[in-house]
Structure 1
């Protein structure tokens, strides 16, 4: 079970901190709210506060009177300011009747039963007014993005990728039908609920079902929500199923038959994307605050997985996530969850800051409530890493993972910002920062965008290829850079360069090979930023505010704080990070360097201090380059779960060869076997003559297709824009 004492202590501290954002309305005694009292997200902020305060009022004896009073005051404000109510919100509007307006209600719905003895008859009448009005709107007038009705599409660009809202709207209708079974529209609610719940988690394999309206997910459950590989919204979809699931248990209500449609399949895929410390492995990145929002609602998802699917690792993962959030809370003297790390938001946007705070409070409160409903399974026969190990590929969307007990390796081409890779030990999520990780950054004169941008306007993904095999994968992606860049005053580019990046995860449970190749186009170009390789290194409270780097000549301690933006030249081509990750520059640059920033990076909300380890680095425009210039041509190796000595040995046992647009690297794997990795950055099929990289007495095997190459040949063909890897059969 979860340690409820820790949850109670955490929420008690948080509710004390939340008093700074509690507002009572003097003209309306008995009404109050947490946050700004505005519409949209602020409505949910207040509703999540209700969940936290009500849960503590019932389950804890600290400040019971205050918590109960504020829970009821906030609830009454919520009910009074609905479209059917008598009062406006503090921004002059009224909330409700949108595709998202019941999300906050769903997250707090369990408190209606907790508060039942404390609500007046008028409170209950008002609640019925609001809840049935929302149910009627969903059943009869549902609209999202200008489209009415229930729809689905797997690509966000086509519109109607709505898995999470289908789940929460369908769940809401079902529960309201149980709460008010004699209502005149209950039949409509149930019918629409069934349609929404079935179509919350669909793939094209469901197309024969009579309720099917389209796929929300790809064949292997990748999700393109918001236009990128969105692990977070896979969790949001699951978590809303969990909220209904536990409320059904709590109230002894029947379960809708489509609530569990594809639910366990989605959980099994999502589980592969959870680090062993409970942090989500956001293989496609994240557009919001690190360690927040979607991460919070993983708690509910894992609790459902334990009870519904008998997942034997869920309790351990829940406990790990709880320890992570407590670690941050303990750094804040006021008891808030994010007061130090997101302190600037307090000054610039109380609207957003209170939203983030209330998500975590709501998640902890609901977890405490659900805890008593969970039948936690005993210890299973398989450990966590063995359970999630192996290959996962979503070729159509451009995503791949290979996971083993010693390495989490992934690449996502439709990531936030286009292109993101990971190679690290799977037990330490604090090593991970998503933004263009392990993908080179190239910018040109006039480009004012950030790598944090969801859809960079000056980049286009042209092509990607993925081949998975037992123990690893090979993939190559091609991105157009410098597209439609305006330069003041009056000039605009078309396309300035092509960036191609190849990644090969060897079947040794340790090694990821990278080869990056960027050539300018037919006009003179002015690169302003080049950050080759671009390995993000989080350096914030979760790692104790420092990183230790070992190089051939020195040991360097990087403290979080730095007085100025600057680059640290390492004067070497290999480095080991905290005795966990090794980085070896193989060809194309003289040395590794670290780009440091005074401000936090970590997404558009600047939520995490991050140092950027680069191989091939330029900061500032020079005199330009001639057409068809190679501005980045690098090869590197990342070793996961590797110490300093092994990093040094890896550097010694790696060689390379270049021939036109062909790049070849020979790497000794951690398994003692020799591999030849290849990338064809050209257009047509080419023959690679390996020469000295391939001893004359040894045959080779193409790991992707099993093709054997005899030693007397020592060459092989590779199509254009493709990466491949061969095992030398020694």
Structure 2
């Protein structure tokens, strides 16, 4: 693969210039100025405007482009920057909604993210521009000093989990102190910047840390910890790999800003960055696509994914990780492939067309993030000598991890990435994919059945227990299905089904076994009951085609997003997907269903509609029933087992359900690597399984709600 260069980023950015005129608007209060998108004072439009300014500023200094084009781009960039400064509370005109922006917990984020653009175009700023920028920066910094407290908390629903905002607010204070040392409160900016930064990637042990920063021990700055002891992040109230990336991306912006401007970066900028990067790196496929084991509530492969670019550059330059360049190369190819498929220069104009129709506000923000993040690679790789290859990149470096708070277990070994997380974005979610097939990864209620009511169903995060053992893990628990937005007056949110799930990652480097049991707890109208519910993305990232094979020379080739419902039943208990991932119905059904919705169903999670969708996925179910109507309490709606394995021969495994008493469930599974017994106790009392001679316990116990694994 060619080395990564600034020019490759420029080539990925320039087609978007054909699309840009659709998003630009002339300012009605000052026709000499332009704005991007809706131009409102709210933080997303403000950030988007700053994003596009920075990207155009970088392009305007790109030697690869003709001089005439560069001059035009510089003019547009300056117009957008001047609009941002003029509509700030220190400015002279309102934004398109008649209001000014600024003095808000997130108001400086756009300023942080555009800082490299200011550097790129600094010599072309007028005296008036420089004065307006100084006034803006000092105004925001004063507000942060006087009005905004430094807070931190591990719980995402506390309102105080603020890792990324602490970093960007600390960044703006530090940059103001460095850029304007004559400012009357520069020393105060520097002191509070230290406190913000030390409470960004904050850890429980920081409360006793004696390491000195800006003249004081870290413990004196510590107000709380945003990360769990194992470095997971509960941002937006789930295990949020994406916002771990956002945190590191903001450190990157500050790191490269200091490096370019010749400022000495403070040590607190790098504190714990290595610790967090180790986990995020493990949650990244070789092609750069994030393995979001805890799921995602936003549009797939857009916002947080794009901000991995500055993070990778930071990892290469500040943390010395040579593998980061490989992630860059892979992701840049994915970005270019999607843009080429659109055919109009846009980054998401085909895949996210439904979002554009529902929210122009949201869609233009996503487009701006993409071009901005490419500009980091274009600019920093032009300015600095950064590693551009990874000569010995490991295909799947072994990694094992668990986290108590999120009920999370995660393994990368053999040829697979395997995980199960209870405190995930849209309810519990599992992942089992080949390590080299990022296009197969999805987590929206993945590898766990669904009982979907007619009234905005949602699964709760659930209670769980887990065990990590050499080469494998157990994870089991219970959650509930709820109707989140009932329509009747006086009708509240309520749970209608209790869903128990247990999974085992076998010590064979590829296989996961699942057992599940669900019973109705309240009468409800049920649209669909789906066992297993393996989501298999079938969109442009895999070329819009999946090939499913079953025994007996059965081969089904299915295009993505068919435009009409196209579900079908396969008369087999096993199925191969692209010859890379195999699924098996262990019990509950002797057939498998490939559920094919009429359009994209991977949703942007919102408390209220309208729903917006960002990816198409087929769905493999071992049990599938639709149009169930009213279902009474006490009805068992799911009782089945299934397995997923990365690679391997489809015909190899042998399995059977072993009869047990009550709500104890047990299966035997045998493949070329070994023979295992997996059991789960879905009852309320301890259970004693009937085991064959020679069974050796690997992990677990059969207390109520627990699971156990034996090897024969």
TM-score (normalised: structure 2): 0.93
**Partner-residue secondary structure (3-state), 1:663:** strand
Alignment map for 1:661-680 (pairs within 5 Å): 661-671=663-673, 673-680=674-681
1:146-204 Cα distance to aligned partner (Å, 9 max, x none): xxx11111111222000000011111111111100110011111111000000001121
Q: 1:141 aligns with which of 134, 147, 167?
A: 147
Deviation at 1:488, TM superposition (A): 4.8
Number of the residue aligned with 2:501:
501
Residues 303 and 374, structure 1, Cα contact 8 Å, conserved in 2: no
Residues in 1 aligned to 2:360 and 2:460: alpha-carbon distance in whole angstroms: 35
- 2:179 paired with 1:173: no
Deviation at 1:345, TM superposition (A): 3.3
**Partner-residue secondary structure (3-state), 1:222:** coil
- C-alpha distance 379-357 of structure 1, shift in aligned 2 (>3 A): closer
Alignment map for 1:658-697 (pairs within 5 Å): 658-671=660-673, 673-690=674-691, 694=692, 696=693
Residues in 1 aligned to 2:702 and 2:174: alpha-carbon distance in whole angstroms: 55
Deviation at 1:366, TM superposition (A): 1.2
Deviation at 1:402, TM superposition (A): 0.6
Deviation at 1:232, TM superposition (A): 0.4
Alignment map for 1:303-322 (pairs within 5 Å): 303-322=313-332
Residues in 2 aligned to 1:26 and 1:485: alpha-carbon distance in whole angstroms: 40
Number of the residue aligned with 2:428:
419
Deviation at 1:629, TM superposition (A): 2.8
Residues in 1 aligned to 2:113 and 2:490: alpha-carbon distance in whole angstroms: 51
1:292-313 Cα distance to aligned partner (Å, 9 max, x none): 0000010111111111111121
Number of the residue aligned with 2:361:
351
Deviation at 1:561, TM superposition (A): 3.6
**Partner-residue secondary structure (3-state), 1:480:** strand
Alignment map for 1:122-137 (pairs within 5 Å): 122-137=128-143
1:635-654 Cα distance to aligned partner (Å, 9 max, x none): 01101123xxx12222x345
**Partner-residue secondary structure (3-state), 2:467:** strand
**Partner-residue secondary structure (3-state), 1:195:** helix
Number of the residue aligned with 1:609:
616
Greater mean alpha carbon deviation, residues 569-578 or residues 485-494: 485-494
1:64-95 Cα distance to aligned partner (Å, 9 max, x none): 12100000000110100001111000011111
Number of the residue aligned with 2:626:
619
Number of the residue aligned with 1:325:
335
1:673-730 Cα distance to aligned partner (Å, 9 max, x none): 111111111122211112xxx3x3x3513246xxxxxxxxxxxx621111121122xx
Residues in 2 aligned to 1:112 and 1:485: alpha-carbon distance in whole angstroms: 45
- C-alpha distance 348-305 of structure 1, shift in aligned 2 (>3 A): same
Number of the residue aligned with 2:286:
276
1:611-665 Cα distance to aligned partner (Å, 9 max, x none): 111111111134634x4332110101101123xxx12222x34554343111111
Greater mean alpha carbon deviation, residues 21-30 or residues 194-203: 21-30
Residues 163 and 201, structure 2, Cα contact 8 Å, conserved in 1: yes
**Partner-residue secondary structure (3-state), 1:183:** coil
- C-alpha distance 684-307 of structure 1, shift in aligned 2 (>3 A): same
Ranges in structure 1 where 5+ consecutive residues have no aligned partner: 143-148, 451-455, 705-716
How many residue pairs end up in the alignment? 688
Deviation at 1:473, TM superposition (A): 0.5
**Partner-residue secondary structure (3-state), 2:659:** strand
Residues 561 and 599, structure 2, Cα contact 8 Å, conserved in 1: no
Deviation at 1:57, TM superposition (A): 0.4
Greater mean alpha carbon deviation, residues 162-171 or residues 375-384: 375-384
Residues in 1 aligned to 2:526 and 2:77: alpha-carbon distance in whole angstroms: 56
- C-alpha distance 570-84 of structure 1, shift in aligned 2 (>3 A): same
Residues 443 and 482, structure 1, Cα contact 8 Å, conserved in 2: no
- C-alpha distance 4-23 of structure 1, shift in aligned 2 (>3 A): same
Greater mean alpha carbon deviation, residues 337-346 or residues 214-223: 337-346
Residues 76 and 123, structure 1, Cα contact 8 Å, conserved in 2: yes
**Partner-residue secondary structure (3-state), 2:92:** coil
1:239-259 Cα distance to aligned partner (Å, 9 max, x none): 000010011111110111211
Residues 299 and 614, structure 2, Cα contact 8 Å, conserved in 1: yes
Residues 385 and 404, structure 1, Cα contact 8 Å, conserved in 2: no
1:496-549 Cα distance to aligned partner (Å, 9 max, x none): 33100011000111100010111233x656533211110001111111111000
Ranges in structure 2 where 5+ consecutive residues have no aligned partner: 209-218, 605-611
- C-alpha distance 624-333 of structure 1, shift in aligned 2 (>3 A): closer
Deviation at 1:670, TM superposition (A): 4.6
TM-score (normalised: structure 1): 0.91
Q: 1:722 aligns with which of 698, 702, 706?
A: 706
Greater mean alpha carbon deviation, residues 295-304 or residues 31-40: 31-40
Number of the residue aligned with 1:43:
46
1:364-392 Cα distance to aligned partner (Å, 9 max, x none): 011111114555458778643454x2210
Residues in 1 aligned to 2:499 and 2:702: alpha-carbon distance in whole angstroms: 19
Number of the residue aligned with 1:628:
634
- C-alpha distance 482-107 of structure 1, shift in aligned 2 (>3 A): closer
**Partner-residue secondary structure (3-state), 1:116:** helix
Greater mean alpha carbon deviation, residues 422-431 or residues 475-484: 475-484
Residues 582 and 638, structure 1, Cα contact 8 Å, conserved in 2: yes
**Partner-residue secondary structure (3-state), 2:119:** helix
Residues 682 and 720, structure 1, Cα contact 8 Å, conserved in 2: yes
Residues in 2 aligned to 1:383 and 1:374: alpha-carbon distance in whole angstroms: 22
